[in-house]
Structure 1
């Protein structure tokens, strides 16, 4: 299998060789090669390489899309939209020239940025094979009071049987002294592909950001694709960052979130909802590092698993010796809807300062049928009682979505995904 993977990546290199003009890109490819030699068969990457091994890896450039399918899948909101399609930003469909955001496209991957975390295969693939960097600057220079949300859409379609396309993206988002809303929407089709996104968010002093990440399915089909999202967040002084993730599984989802607090009086509120069914797998790794005093981070992660699916959650909250008066909270809640489904949770605390407040909690359970019986004695049907208990588990997280249109669309998708009754409007 190792030789087969090498040959596939070598072929991909030849197809993309004309883009490799900068020394950094060649160095990234060299690092990828060394990484594969050392860590090809680590547990969290075996599934990816097995998937690659059984399919023909192709270049993504020649793949067209179905525009009708794309636009039917969008949230009906008023926003500045960027379409990332088949490995590149679509300049014709995207609102690149607008009065709210400065958006630049760098043709070659020549941006240097120091990382504070250990990279994995997905980072190296993105750094090596991304054809374009997208740089987004968000600031208050133009003094615009109302700023439309930035709606980033990832969509891939069209490939032949036994072929798999790999789409790599590298994005840099700079936010300075302003308030903004960013919505990332990954629309999964029923095609076979690998979507690999690597984002760097630099949130400068006195900024406020609401950031939503949604992975939803087109027409609620079963999906055969892989999605990897790697995020690094640099937070400076007096930042308020609110992050909300709702991920509905395709065959495999891998998400890495790395937060670094480099400023004082900064607060992070991070909620996530993960859904997995069939035999799908979701891996989420959250690393958070406090380096300055008087900062706060509150995390609440909830999962629901069905059938024979698996969700793996690893979280590390690290407080360094200079981060006095830090308040850190790390909370996990999981609901198992089948005896064969699994949730693996590993919360970790690394505290190097005594003058801090830190808590963590883990809850894992099933639907309590005594509660269903109690609701049935009050005249509520079994189906509605089951739906009531299930929705009540996730409703507090959904209420964090400030846009009612998106909230209602997500509720519909969750209800269909879980095959339960959407009764929310009755209460």
Structure 2
């Protein structure tokens, strides 16, 4: 695509106008550098498939989210009942009126400009990360204090706006530094309501020596599948880190998540499990990159995906083990269910191993509900729909058994059960 074609592109023009307005109030040299890099990437990016967000939203009008205030009572019905430090990210900014900014467990700083320079150039930028860096209104840094038994940190993303053909865009850039020897629970909750919006988030998480983190991400369907969400995560694991990550992704119009993990230190462990559901004509793209630089580290990934109708889930992963990362244990496992003829799941696992003193495995399973098992249940008096649900849930439950927090495990189960109860499972191949 030449520059003239780019200039004629509707979405580029919209972003350019948004940036011009944005830099009047939030200009910095760093944001300008990322804007020019974004422009160059847009110039090179082919608009020829539905895997690309700006093609996916077609002719919708993209606009920066407006500043609106929300009453906490508007959110109570959606929130998890958890005793936690809650931060509300609403329409591109943190709402200071209802967020627990001042607390005993986390130091939270809010800046108009990105003054944080974490000097690790591991992350490979993309269109969405440049978008976050250039158009974010507030840069958030969160440091945990060395307090005993800290409360969970609960990040809530919520958007309000007009019900029209405009897509309201919110950009976020967060830095979270975990440096507490006591276990930390981090919950990221995206609340979807019946309005068009695009959330674009870039998170940096630094897990210092001897830290323990459980990180739960919920992008769940609240009777709405119109919205768009892209998330870039970079994780840095130092010495003796124990990190558990759980994702539950459910049927927004478009979800893209890029996770990049780097083992910098030694004797650290990552357990990453995810469950992805897609229906209608929705699309989920997930790209996981794990790089081992330290010795005696372990990474275990188990991902499950289920598609219905005309939906598509794309799962890509690469496990890279560098020359000096001896005695590494790396595992990647993908399991998926296709519940209609027209749905698709594309899986692409990869290994890049640069030394011999490692133990690595990867596996992929894709299939459908076994008709013989359905028949087995029916012969014992269990009807088709009940049998289908039992088999479906048994496929999922294995991913939840290692969640130690009973409250969060119950939330996972309720969300999945609710999702199952309203779906029509009588697709036939």
Partner of 2:154: 151
How far 1:145 moved relative to its partner? 2.6
Partner of 2:427: none
Unaligned runs of 5+ in 1: 422-427
1:333 aligned counterpart, secondary structure: strand
1:206 and 2:210 are equivalent in the alignment: yes
Which of residues 224, 227, 230 in structure 2 aligns to 1:225?
227
1:188 and 2:204 are equivalent in the alignment: no
Which of residues 246, 256, 259 in structure 2 aligns to 1:257?
259
Per-residue Cα deviation, 1:19-42 (whole angstroms, up to 9, x for no partner): 333211111111111111122537
Which of residues 390, 393, 416 in structure 2 aligns to 1:391?
393
Partner of 1:170: 173
1:370 aligned counterpart, secondary structure: helix
How far 1:413 moved relative to its partner? 2.2
Per-residue Cα deviation, 1:368-425 (whole angstroms, up to 9, x for no partner): 111111122223222221111000001011223333333323322212222379xxxx
How far 1:366 moved relative to its partner? 0.5
Question: Considering only aligned residues, what root-mean-square deviation do their CA atoms show, in Å?
Answer: 1.7
Partner of 2:44: 38
Structure 1 window deviating more from structure 2 (247-256 vs 102-111): it is 102-111
Unaligned runs of 5+ in 2: 424-429
Question: CA separation of 1:207/1:394 partners in 2, compared to 1, >3 Å: closer, same or farther?
Answer: same
Per-residue Cα deviation, 1:283-316 (whole angstroms, up to 9, x for no partner): 0000000011100000000011111110000000
- Cα separation, 2, equivalents of 1:174 and 1:191: 33
- Cα separation, 2, equivalents of 1:49 and 1:171: 27
- Cα separation, 2, equivalents of 1:50 and 1:327: 38
1:110 aligned counterpart, secondary structure: coil
Q: Is the 8 A contact 2:49 2:55 kept in 1?
A: no
- Cα separation, 1, equivalents of 2:180 and 2:410: 31
Which of residues 90, 97, 101 in structure 1 aligns to 2:95?
90
- Cα separation, 1, equivalents of 2:47 and 2:374: 45
1:229 aligned counterpart, secondary structure: strand
- Cα separation, 1, equivalents of 2:392 and 2:422: 8
Partner of 2:381: 379
Per-residue Cα deviation, 1:339-394 (whole angstroms, up to 9, x for no partner): 11110000000000001000000000100111111122223222221111000001
Q: With the length of structure 1 as denominator, give the TM-score of the two structures.
A: 0.93
Partner of 1:425: none
Structure 1 window deviating more from structure 2 (4-13 vs 111-120): it is 111-120
Note the 1:7-406 alignment, pairs <5 A. 7-41=13-47, 43=49, 46-51=52-57, 53-65=58-70, 67-113=72-118, 114-140=120-146, 144-178=147-181, 179-218=183-222, 221-406=223-408
How far 1:14 moved relative to its partner? 2.2
How far 1:211 moved relative to its partner? 0.5
How far 1:44 moved relative to its partner? 6.7
Q: Is the 8 A contact 1:19 1:108 kept in 2?
A: no
Q: With the length of structure 2 as denominator, give the TM-score of the two structures.
A: 0.93
1:301 aligned counterpart, secondary structure: strand
Per-residue Cα deviation, 1:38-85 (whole angstroms, up to 9, x for no partner): 22537575343341x512222213345464442210001111100000
How far 1:159 moved relative to its partner? 2.2
Per-residue Cα deviation, 1:116-170 (whole angstroms, up to 9, x for no partner): 1321110010000001111000142xxx332110011001122241211110000
How far 1:261 moved relative to its partner? 0.4
How far 1:189 moved relative to its partner? 1.4
- Cα separation, 1, equivalents of 2:414 and 2:134: 38
Structure 1 window deviating more from structure 2 (224-233 vs 7-16): it is 7-16
Q: Is the 8 A contact 1:383 1:420 kept in 2?
A: no
Structure 1 window deviating more from structure 2 (203-212 vs 36-45): it is 36-45
Structure 1 window deviating more from structure 2 (12-21 vs 175-184): it is 12-21
Q: Is the 8 A contact 2:167 2:196 kept in 1?
A: yes
Structure 1 window deviating more from structure 2 (402-411 vs 93-102): it is 402-411
- Cα separation, 2, equivalents of 1:303 and 1:247: 9
